[in-house]
Structure 1
Amino acid sequence: MDQLYLYVALIGVGFVLFALTRTKAKTVSQATGAPQQERELKMALDEFMNGLEEENARLLDSFTRLQVEYKQQFGTQQQQIEELIERVAELEGRLTEVETQPSSPPVPEPKVSTAPTTVSGFAFNEKYARVAELIRQGQTPEQIARFTGIGIGEIQMVIGLSEREES
């Protein structure tokens, strides 16, 4: 048991010595380097704060620029929308005018005789006789093609034959 007290006493003395040497080292370092460390810490903190302020200023400028661009773009789009609305209203007005105007009567299909016609000994069938009749009435080949469903080449051939007959 005596040994136990001896070990406990030795451990206690070791702690006291350690504590005394530790506080001396701290007070020596604080006395010589404390103001310099404070200055370094203060400078680092000032640099950090200046960096934050610069970054905030850049972000604020970017945000302001984006806000101005957005307002301009929004204004342009609003103007385009208003122009489109006006155009739609104008076109709707024109459409109602066209709908309310009496429509012109449809062009009657010319009457064609169904009897075969001969041109210089060439007998036309009903289809070509109708083309010849429309030619005599002064219709254009495109109009005749629409009425009869015959190709323009065939119509021109009939026109050529009709001209030969007349001369």
Structure 2
Amino acid sequence: MTSRPRNSMAAVLTLLMTGAIWLSVVFGIFAFVFLGIGLVASLNDGALQVPGAQAISEVSALDFAFVLVGLAIVLPGVVYVCLQLRRILSTLAEGDPFVPENAGRLSMIAIALAVMEVASMLLVISMRLFAAPGETVARPALSINLVVWAAVAALLVLSQVFREGTRLREEEKMTI
């Protein structure tokens, strides 16, 4: 059996994906801590004092809750997508990207992006529905991100291409 040379670009991209995963996790932890402090301050008439820190909040508790929910949906989604990409890149680095698992991984990335986008739209709708009457705070407008939906479609097509490529490769192995 001949050994294939490792793909150095895929190895670099795998390293970048690992960095993106860790940055997302660290950012998520800090964001949850600071938003949690803001939520507690908001629930406590806009002020919170703890030894060594003071939090003043002019943002409603409901707004903090919406941001926390959005963060709880998006950050795990980003980490999941990066993990799947890292797994795909590791097969590429080994010189064998056309494995059946990669087709499934591409489909799962597409589904994760679709879920995050739908959740984002539902969150915007909820924020607009639960706005207090006469509230002057600007609420985000509902928009359909066509780039995300095009990426979902492209990933689903690519997953089918990978499935077919894997099938053809297996068929070729059986040909004499």
The TM-score bracket by the shorter chain reads under 0.3
TM-score under structure 1 normalisation?
A: 0.26
Q: Which has the larger share of helix?
A: 1
TM-score under structure 2 normalisation?
A: 0.25
Which entry has the higher C-alpha Rg, 1 or 2?
1
Which protein has greater RCO, CA pairs closer than 8 Å, 6+ apart? 2
